[in-house]
Structures are given as structure tokens and as C-alpha cells.
Structure 1
């Protein structure tokens, strides 16, 4: 079935990056590189039918979130707005409702970054971009500052064609990674600053040294910041990512809150899921006055 009406409807919502992937996916030869942190294991990453019986196609949507600012921030850009999971789910529900009106007998399953499926591979198969050397998914216009959401459907939509474009392989992400986690063209997440800022418990001196290399206390944008594919990209067309932004968290502000107050104030933010203590720990590490461990 033709997907043009669906794409027109998505554009009316401000979603101009929608593609269709086949529900019959081949496991890529570079499986570990493509999905090093996927929740699923092996074949589950590439089998939509485990989530939706009789799945016939996957509707894949990119959600650009880039918002430039000259104000210094200690939070990764992806955490500065309301939690992206909530924003993506709201839009996917609208797409699901549209499909149910168009195809009353259809069934659907929504995926917003928490399913076992390999989101980046689905987005590639849907013709929306390519996977860079920094393991980020890159769109030709919006760069890598994009979230990925999917709607599994029993409607047999015609798949789009994957792009042949690929990363510049310039090495900028490798050279600027605080943890040097790109080793021999592989990605070692245990040295990724974004991972370490979310890791529970006490960190080792080498891990602390990685966190101290940049001001961010949650996440890490370095490999995206230096990527040539992210130069001169437009601001996000999705208004939810432009509103209610938080750029800085301060130690005294967090210390003044009880855990319940923290959850009430920041519970709808992506940086809050690990709790207040992790943020305070990272603030201690990134404070210029803190001692080198």
C-alpha cells in the first residue's frame, strides 16, 4: 500500500522525516557496531514480529531536536527539553490514530527508544540516513541531533529505499571523544562519557578523569559537536523541543530539594531518571574547584 497519505499527514504535524522499513529484516554484517547498546539480543533486534504478530511494515520517524544557544550548559542537548520519550510517544499516538482511521482492521505497536529493536538500523532501512563512525544515526539535513521513533503496523506498506550516502570518515569524533571510546573502529561504551554520567555508584579515577574533561554533568555531545555533518543544520521544527528548556543545574539548587521535591520538579526530564545523587556526584567531578582524583 502507498504511504504518501501517511507522509502528508506526518508533515502536517511538523514531522518531515518519515520512512517505511520492511518487517523482514536481514541481520547486518556489522551487527555489534550498528547496535552496541540495543536492549534486545541477536535476532530479537531485527524481528518486529516478536512485538507485533503479523507485522507487515515499520513506520520510522526521526525527531530532530537541535536548538542552538549561546548560553553555557552543563546538560547534554537531548536532555534540555521535556523528556523526549514523552514527546515522541505523543506524536506516535497521533500517527497510530491516523492509521487506524485509514485501515480500521489494522494493529500497531509503538516504539520510542525502549524496545529491543535496533532503531538506527530501522531508520537506515527506511531511507532516512546513515550510521556515522561515532555510532550516531545521521540525517542528511538534521545531522545526528535526532531521536528515532517507530510504529509497527500490520498494514503492508511499501518500504522505502536505503540511502547510499555515508559518513565522511574524517576522524573528528575519534579525536575529540573524552574517553577515547572509539578503538580500532569499534565503540567501547564503558569509556563513553554519556554512559559514565549515568553509571551508578562510585567511579574509578580513570572514569572520573573522563567526566572532568567537559562541563556536562549528564550526557556528552562532543562527538556530535565536532561532526561535520552537524555543521549549519537547522533548528528543530518540532515546537516541544524548543520550549521549557533547562540549560544549567546548580549544586545548591539540587541540595535544597528533597528527593520527592526533585522528582516533582524534574520527573518529566530525561536527566532525572537516575535521581539527584548521580547529578550531584557529577557536579562534584566537573566543578573547576574540585581536586583531581
Structure 2
């Protein structure tokens, strides 16, 4: 963790000594659609918040002299590195945490605390089999050896606001999803037969597809009212419209 992240962690939890990490599965099948699998159910920030907040309350009741701060993608903590250090799953070549039998279809949550918890009773996560399939399938070439270039990652580009350079527009125009990208996960051998999640919030009331007609004439307020509890809504309506327009233009 770099110095800037350490300072932010210290501001959240002065005297922080350890991080508790959890992995929550979200795979609910692979129905056709143009939204990444992670974004089809309820927003994972909300779901994991609902799971972690009560845990923090229980821990604080048991250890009232200590702080327990939950985090889901909104803290300075390097969640994947923390998970690997705790020995959770495998270190995927695509940079994701692989947790058999769920594969890499998991969300990570953390609890930062100043409680001197004992170290993990397991070794740090070993690497995956390094088959290279995830690197080969990436259209933008974002995965190169041990490096990752977010500006060539389709999942990142579908969430990027504003005008895009021609090269990035071309990548999005050729993409099949209006939000996110699952290609590196789909080819991963560990994801061949993943166990489905048991959480109803990731199984029920799924939004699998968005079309231009569904967002035509919709205001930002209406979009938030309809989809505000979905992860694909956090960047706003304009980003979704741009992605759909680029993909329509290729036809």
C-alpha cells in the first residue's frame, strides 16, 4: 500500500493494524444480455454494505475500545492484495481473486480495524495455472505479463466519462456489452463450471440488457429512479447512451 493510501487509511481508522477480508459470490447464470454479469443484480456496494455493517456492529459490541470500518470499493485499501495476503483463493493472471468453486465471480469487502487481530492461519494465495487465456482474449491488450493498462480495458472504458479518443471509441464500438466486460473471466478455466451464488440479491430481479429504446427520452432523474440500485448506473445516463450509440454505429 502506497503512502497516500496509508494516510487515507489512517484517517478512516487511526492506528489501524489489520484488514479483515471477505469474498462474496455473485454468479447467477449466463443468460444473454449486454451488461456484465456483476452489474445485473443489485449494486454490490449496497449488498456488501448490508452484510458488513452488522458485522462491524457486532465486533464493536465485543471490542468496544476498537474501531471497525467497512469498505467496498470505496476505501484506500488494495482489496485484492489484502485478499491474497490473507490466503483467500488464487492470484489470477487477469489480476482477479479466484475462489473455487465460485471462480473469480466474487466481490470483495474489507473491514479496517485497529484491533490487533492474529495473522491468517494460511499461507498467502498461490498463483493460478498461468494458462495465458485471459491475456490472449483481451481485445485491447490490457493484460501484458504482470502489468495492467486500464486505458485499454473494455470494462474501464465502458465506465469512462467524457469524449474518448478514436482508438478507445473503436474498441467500444466493436464490444458486445454496453457496460463492463467479462471476456477474461469467461475463458478462465477456473470459471468453467462455477457454483452459483445463494444470495437472492444477486439472483433475483436481474437486469440483463439495456437498449437505446430503454433510455430514449429518459431524464437523469428517471434513470436513477429505475436503475439507481444497479452498479451500471453510478456513472450516469450519458455514459450508457454513448456506449449504446457507439455499438449501434458499427451496424
**TM-score normalized by the length of structure 1:** 0.79
Alignment equivalent of 2:28, drawn from 53, 63, 67: 67
SS at the partner of 1:232?
coil
Aligned: 1:188 with 2:139: no
Cα shift at 1:205: 2.6
Partners of 1:60 and 1:149 within 8 A in 2: yes
Give the corresponding residue for 2:118: 158
1:260 and 1:164, CA in 2 relative to 1: closer, same or farther beyond 3 A? closer
Give the corresponding residue for 1:95: 55
Aligned: 1:266 with 2:227: yes
Partners of 2:16 and 2:115 within 8 A in 1: yes
Give the corresponding residue for 1:172: 133
Aligned residues: 249
Q: Deviations over 1:222-278 (max 9, x none)?
A: 001111111211001222111221001111110131221111111121111111121
Give the corresponding residue for 1:136: 96
* RMSD between superposed Cα atoms in Å: 1.8
Partners of 1:142 and 1:234 within 8 A in 2: yes
Q: Partners in 1 of 2:114 and 2:94 — Cα distance?
A: 34
Partners of 1:56 and 1:153 within 8 A in 2: yes
Q: Partners in 1 of 2:81 and 2:146 — Cα distance?
A: 18
Partners of 2:85 and 2:125 within 8 A in 1: no
Of structures 1 and 2, the one with the larger relative CO (CA 8 A, separation 6+) is: 2
**TM-score normalized by the length of structure 2:** 0.92
Alignment equivalent of 2:158, drawn from 168, 173, 197: 197
Partners of 1:124 and 1:162 within 8 A in 2: no
1:164 and 1:181, CA in 2 relative to 1: closer, same or farther beyond 3 A? closer
Query: Which ranges of structure 2 fall in alignment gaps of 5 or more residues?
Result: none
Cα shift at 1:141: 2.4
Q: Partners in 2 of 1:260 and 1:198 — Cα distance?
A: 19
Give the corresponding residue for 1:31: none
Partners of 1:108 and 1:154 within 8 A in 2: yes
